[in-house]
Amino acid sequence: MNILLELFVVTFQVLWAFVAAAGRWLLRPREKSVAGQVCLITGAGSGLGRLFALEFARRRARLVLWDINAPGNEETAGLVRSIYRQAAEEALAAARKAGQGEEEVLPHYNLQVHTYTCDVSKRENVYTTAEKVRKEVGEVSVLVNNAGVVSGHHLLECPDELIERTMMVNCHAHFWTTKAFLPKMLELNHGHIVTVASSLGLFSTAGVEDYCASKFGAVGFHESLSHELKAAEKDGIKTTLVCPYLVDTGMFRGCRIRKEIEPFLPPLKPDYCVKQAMRAILTDQPMICTPRLMYMVTFMKSILPFEAVVCMYRFLGADKCMYPFIAQRKQATNNNEAKNGI
């Protein structure tokens, strides 16, 4: 094709992509069904992972929950079973009212949740557990890479092993889980891979070098994977990148921006964050930043001179927003050491 003609076609496609994106935002596309599909969530024992599990359970997905914290994971599973039970009871009541038999309804609500204790930072542990899932549950259709940790130390005070663990859990684990479950998705040209990253994977702040590096890595991995799937024309495999602002799960307890600004940009409620992410996942949205202001911050960081970004950070109180959190972590560590006589 003539390069000028091709340039015209590409320009039209780019403009159409903008129109389509605006249309999706205005018209709220219909959510797809995940009923009966196997959905695996890492870090399901608490926080956002638990909330993702409950949301997928309400949509009758078959849940596979991974976490290194077995008691927390089982607690999540108990909540999921309650949702399954309630849905089955409501369906049976509706069936009886409509004069239908139980045998017509129960197969659609006979759902189970499966729990596995897995340290996603360990490659072989991921591969071994993935093989168990395939044998005991079946092939995974929806993979939610959610597990995450934070060390809470300034770079020069952070032990090397904590830096390595942050990178392994927040970034490297995405490679291992995806390599474990993507082959079957490719074979079927069907699936969905969700990367729960962070706004700190799009722009950074002081004091959390390891965390930012791990989340930047997760974002880069996700974007490259998405491009690879497009290049392979595997349009049946969807990807969604989730980049929330500070979420009030306690993970960054003590983090503070300027007090005059905080009422306009408070920490996100976990329920709200997950519901927004679920809407993006179920409408095959490639990326979601919550709140929407994060899109603007990312754009401005990309076009402004570095010194201008520093000025903005200082005005917002974002330049040292992690310092109170780090101080609290350090105090808690010192208290534990004193308690244990170290």
Question: For residue 151, is it within any domain?
Answer: yes
Q: How many CB atoms lie within 10 A of CB 31?
A: 13
The pLDDT-based confidence of 174 (bands split at 50, 70, 90) is very high
Looking at every residue in the chain, the average pLDDT score rounds to 91
| Segment 233-252 mean pLDDT | 96
Question: For residue 1, is it within any domain?
Answer: no
By DSSP bridging, strand 113-117 and strand 287-290 are unpaired
- Domain of residue 305: give its range: 30-340
pLDDT surpasses 80 at 136: yes
Q: Which residue intervals of the chain are DSSP H helices? A: 3-27, 47-58, 70-97, 102-109, 123-136, 160-167, 173-188, 209-231, 270-282, 293-303, 306-316, 323-339
Whole-angstrom Cα distance, residue 124 to residue 281? 29
CB-count burial class (<10 Å; 0-12, 13-18, 19+) for 14:
exposed
| Segment 207-222 mean pLDDT | 98
pLDDT in tens, 222-238: 999 999 999 999 999 99
Which pLDDT value is given to residue 247? 95
pLDDT surpasses 60 at 91: yes
Question: For residue 102, is it within any domain?
Answer: yes
Do 49 and 56 meet the contact criterion of CB atoms below 8 Å apart?
Answer: no
Kindly list the strands in the beta sheet with 142-145, ordered across the sheet, starting from the edge strand earlier in the chain.
Answer: 113-117, 62-67, 38-42, 142-145, 191-196, 237-244, 287-290
Question: For residue 203, is it within any domain?
Answer: yes
Question: For residue 2, is it within any domain?
Answer: no
Whole-angstrom Cα distance, residue 224 to residue 222? 6
Whole-angstrom Cα distance, residue 169 to residue 190? 26
The pLDDT-based confidence of 336 (bands split at 50, 70, 90) is low
Lowest mean pLDDT among 3-7, 51-55, 124-128: 3-7
pLDDT surpasses 70 at 219: yes
Which pLDDT value is given to residue 4? 78
Q: Which residues are catalytic?
A: 211
Picking from 113, 126, 130, the residue whose alpha carbon sits closest to that of residue 54 is 113
Residue owning tokens 């089955």? 88
Question: For residue 310, is it within any domain?
Answer: yes
Whole-angstrom Cα distance, residue 56 to residue 64? 11
Q: For the range 129-133, what are the long-range contacts, defined as Cβ-Cβ under 8 Å and sequence gap of 24 or more?
A: 129/66, 130/177, 130/180, 130/181, 133/40, 133/64
Number of domains, the chain: 1
DSSP state of 268: B
Which pLDDT value is given to residue 100? 66
Question: For residue 169, is it within any domain?
Answer: yes
What CATH number corresponds to the domain at position 149?
A: 3.40.50.720
Which pLDDT value is given to residue 103? 62
| Segment 163-190 mean pLDDT | 98
pLDDT in tens, 261-313: 999 899 999 999 999 999 999 999 999 999 999 999 999 999 999 999 999 99
Q: What is the helix (H) or strand (E) element at residue 114, kind and residue range?
A: strand 113-117
**The two three-digit tokens of residue 127, written as one number:** 């591969």
Per-residue exposure over 58-91, b if at least 16 CB sit within 10 Å of its own CB, e if not:
ebbbbbbbbbbeeebbebbbeebeebbeebbeeb
Q: With a threshold of 0.75, does the pTM exceed it?
A: yes
Question: For residue 23, is it within any domain?
Answer: no
Do 141 and 190 meet the contact criterion of CB atoms below 8 Å apart?
Answer: yes
